[in-house]
């Protein structure tokens, strides 16, 4: 029997205590608490479900633990939400609340509703898949989020290695259960997850390779830093290294080997031709639920599909205008080939070398430095957190995979990070990189998420809330905003902005096509190819993303269009008195919100402006 050291049993006892306290508070309403204090208490209760979230927030609570990922823990969390939502309704009169309090009330109940909906369809989810799956996110969390400045921190790191092993075993139990119910990710996802797991087990101390496995390399670096800073002795450093080796070999490695073995054995049960989630048990209702959760709207799959077709038609016309501007002769498809296939043309691609990769990173930093100079003209409130641009770690890097952002800590001790996959520079076109930098950095994800985390006038739970329609919608809106701020001076770079814009419109069509209309992978791939000059490798990765993340990719364009609609409404209502800085501060000043609640907030702001100007 394995013994894990991340206090899982203690956490289960704590979670049961929270549920008992919540149940007791329903019997004896806690009306003596102000709503703000109630939210503060509930947020602290909620955080106890996730030691990893506490760490991401820069806290040291439960620093030696990894989240409980069993089905029992899932039930405990959704039960907490049910009880907390009932307590909120029973104890506080909505009509007696201020507008800000009503927003917090609405957001809390919306979170509870979406959590309940996700739990209802929990068996339809894919446990292990290729899109930054949990098998990769766990070691990535340890490497990038678990900071070590003391011997105690290093001891907690060792414990968390064992905790990852336990979590992976829990997830494997759930994956097997889902498979028994007929829910398996596509064949290509199995093979990619197997490769990820093998990469994590490649190197010392798992074999006699001349290099260290990712977690071991990170642990050694952290131990060496402690020793070099005279925090620990050489003997202590040696002891820690041996503890890390033991935890990796006896807890981490067996768990990942079990995943590999099961996936390899279960491959025989997976069809080679991928199908959307509409083909799963109760798949149509599950997909409708994911669209609701991801977009925070009631739009149907058919409505989203048609919206995508309309947007593609509009964007293609804008693309043709730039094609004429640069004097290109031929069709739009010919122009796609022109910017996609000229791999040696330094206007379109960097060399596939370390120098080319560093040039990509440095030019991205330069674009961000340029846009930062104009932020004050468009925002009254600016983020305080720093932003860094980095290449994705080798063990999880995938050619052609989309860039992404990881938020920093609220206290600024860890900066926000824009990550780029750079293993294949022929899949990273130069014309797109300016738009990507603004999307991931400023005025996109980094600005929105950092401002949310730094808010002081809202309950803490709202500073960490994340609704995909808002978060991704803002980032796509920021690409157009950057153009309005003076970016994209080069026509090809502006064309790259449109490449990203049509990509988000394609997602509306391809995602709904796969999951609601029975499209195959090749149908979705060919549709993408007809409307985009992206590399075939990146398009393939994108289409496969839609299969395992149903609905997620639709939120980008839907959120962008809603923000633009609200901006236009404010302009029409306020006329010459419309202030873009004030509008942006109002959009970002409430944290991430469901789009329906954002619309209510902006409508109230417009009304207030009309009566005070």
Q: pLDDT tens for residues 38-68?
A: 999 999 999 999 999 999 999 999 999 999 9
Whether the predicted pLDDT of 5 surpasses 50: no
Residue 12 is predicted with a pLDDT of 44
Please give the Cα distance from 263 to 447 (Å, whole number).
40
Residue 17 is predicted with a pLDDT of 46
Which has the higher per-residue pLDDT, 213 or 538?
213
Give the confidence band of 31 by pLDDT, cuts at 50, 70, 90: low
CB atoms within 10 A of CB 144: 16
Residue 613 is predicted with a pLDDT of 60
Q: Quote the Cα angle for 347-445-410, to 5°.
A: 135
Residue 29 is predicted with a pLDDT of 43
> Which whole-number Å values give the CA distances from 79 to 8, 22, 174, 293, 480, in the listed order?
19, 10, 19, 19, 42
Whether the predicted pLDDT of 382 surpasses 90: yes
**DSSP element (H, E) containing 56:** helix 51-56
Q: What is the mean pLDDT of residues 299-309?
A: 98
- Give the phi and the psi of residue 476 in degrees, each rounded to 5: -75, -40
Residue 4 is predicted with a pLDDT of 30
Residue range 556-613, pLDDT digits in tens: 999 999 999 999 999 999 999 999 999 999 999 999 999 999 999 999 999 999 987 6
> Which whole-number Å values give the CA distances from 220 to 156, 240, 245, 289, 374, in the listed order?
14, 9, 10, 44, 42
Please give the Cα distance from 543 to 12 (Å, whole number).
39
Q: Quote the Cα angle for 564-566-570, to 5°.
A: 115
Where is average pLDDT lowest: 214-223, 310-319, 405-414?
405-414
Where is average pLDDT lowest: 149-153, 394-398, 470-474?
394-398
Whether the predicted pLDDT of 214 surpasses 80: yes
> Starting from the edge strand earliest in sequence, which strands make up the sheet with 404-406, in order?
387-391, 416-420, 404-406
Whether the predicted pLDDT of 27 surpasses 60: no
Please give the Cα distance from 243 to 154 (Å, whole number).
10
Q: What is the mean pLDDT of residues 400-427?
A: 89
Contact 463, 455 (CB under 8 A): yes
User: The whole model's pTM is what?
Assistant: 0.90
Map tokens 């959009």 to a residue.
587
Distance of CA 507 to the CA centre of its chain: 16
Whether the predicted pLDDT of 23 surpasses 60: no
Which has the higher per-residue pLDDT, 398 or 532?
532
Map tokens 């997976």 to a residue.
270
Q: What is the mean pLDDT of residues 75-84?
A: 98
What percent of the chain clears pLDDT 90, i.e. is strictly above it? 87
Q: What is the mean pLDDT of residues 210-234?
A: 97
Closest CA to 55 of 413, 404, 396, 394: 413
Contact 271, 545 (CB under 8 A): no
Q: Quote the Cα angle for 155-460-445, to 5°.
A: 85
Residue 138 is predicted with a pLDDT of 97
Whether the predicted pLDDT of 272 surpasses 70: yes
Q: What is the mean pLDDT of residues 438-451?
A: 97
Q: Quote the Cα angle for 102-108-114, to 5°.
A: 130
Number of helices (H), then strands (E), in the chain? 25, 3
Q: Quote the Cα angle for 202-208-214, to 5°.
A: 30
Chain-wide mean pLDDT for the chain? 93
Whether the predicted pLDDT of 177 surpasses 50: yes
| Distance in angstroms between the alpha carbons of the first and the last residue of the chain | 71
Residue 286 is predicted with a pLDDT of 98
Residue 10 is predicted with a pLDDT of 40
- Give the phi and the psi of residue 54 in degrees, each rounded to 5: -55, -45
């Amino acid at each position: 029997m394995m013994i894990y050291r991340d206090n899982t049993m203690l956490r289960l006892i704590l979670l049961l205590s929270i549920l008992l306290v919540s149940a007791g508070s329903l019997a004896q309403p806690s009306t003596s608490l102000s709503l703000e204090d109630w939210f503060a208490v509930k947020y602290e209760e909620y955080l106890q479900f996730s030691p990893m979230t506490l760490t991401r927030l820069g806290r040291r609570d439960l620093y030696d633990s990894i989240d409980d990922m069993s089905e029992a823990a899932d039930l405990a969390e959704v039960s907490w939400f049910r009880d907390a939502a009932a307590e909120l309704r029973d104890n506080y009169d909505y009509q007696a609340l201020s507008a800000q309090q009503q927003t917090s009330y609405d957001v809390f109940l919306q979170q509870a509703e979406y959590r309940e909906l996700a739990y209802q369809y929990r068996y339809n989810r894919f446990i292990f898949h290729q899109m930054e799956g949990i098998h990769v996110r766990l070691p990535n969390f340890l490497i990038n989020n678990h900071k070590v400045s003391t011997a105690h921190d290093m001891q907690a790191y060792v414990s968390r290695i064992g905790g990852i092993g336990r979590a992976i075993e829990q997830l494997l139990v759930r994956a097997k259960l889902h498979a028994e119910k007929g829910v398996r990710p596509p064949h290509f996802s199995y093979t990619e997850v197997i490769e990820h797991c093998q990469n994590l087990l490649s190197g010392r101390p798992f074999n006699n390779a001349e290099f260290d496995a990712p977690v071991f390399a990170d642990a050694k670096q952290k131990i060496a830093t402690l020793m070099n800073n005279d925090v620990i002795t050489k003997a202590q450093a040696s002891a820690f290294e041996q503890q890390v080796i033991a935890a990796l070999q006896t807890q981490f490695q067996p768990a990942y080997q079990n995943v590999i073995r099961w996936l390899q054995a279960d491959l025989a049960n997976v069809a080679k031709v991928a199908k959307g989630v509409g083909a799963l048990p109760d798949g149509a209702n599950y997909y409708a639920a994911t669209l609701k959760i991801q977009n925070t709207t009631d739009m149907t799959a058919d409505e989203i599909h048609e919206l995508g077709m309309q947007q593609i038609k509009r964007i293609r016309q804008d693309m043709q205008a730039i094609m004429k501007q640069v004097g290109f002769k031929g069709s739009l498809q010919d122009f796609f080939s022109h910017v996609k296939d000229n791999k040696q043309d330094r206007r379109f691609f960097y060399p596939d070398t370390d120098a080319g990769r560093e040039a990509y990173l440095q030019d991205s930093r330069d674009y961000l430095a340029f846009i930062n100079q104009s932020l004050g003209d468009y925002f009254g409130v600016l983020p305080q957190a720093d932003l860094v641009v980095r290449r994705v770690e080798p063990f999880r890097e995938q050619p052609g995979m989309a860039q992404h952002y990881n938020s920093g800590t609220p206290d600024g001790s860890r900066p926000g990070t824009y990550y780029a996959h750079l293993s294949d520079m022929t899949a990273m076109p130069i014309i797109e990189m300016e738009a990507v930098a603004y999307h991931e950095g400023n005025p996109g994800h980094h600005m929105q998420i950092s401002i949310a985390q730094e808010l002081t006038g809202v309950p803490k739970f709202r500073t960490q809330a994340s609704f995909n329609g808002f978060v991704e919608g803002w980032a796509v809106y920021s690409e157009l905003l950057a153009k309005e701020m003076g970016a994209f001076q080069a026509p090809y770079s502006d064309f790259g902005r449109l490449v990203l814009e049509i990509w988000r419109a394609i997602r509306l069509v391809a995602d709904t096509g796969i999951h609601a209309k029975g499209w195959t992978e090749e149908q979705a791939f060919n549709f993408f190819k007809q409307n985009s000059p992206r590399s075939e490798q990146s398009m393939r990765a994108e289409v496969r993303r839609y299969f395992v993340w149903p609905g997620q990719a639709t939120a980008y364009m839907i959120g962008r269009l809603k923000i633009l609609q609200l901006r236009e409404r404010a302009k029409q209502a306020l006329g010459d008195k419309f202030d873009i800085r004030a509008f942006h501060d109002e959009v970002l000043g409430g944290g991430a919100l469901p789009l329906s609640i954002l619309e209510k907030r902006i409508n109230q702001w417009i009304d207030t402006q009309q009566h005070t100007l």
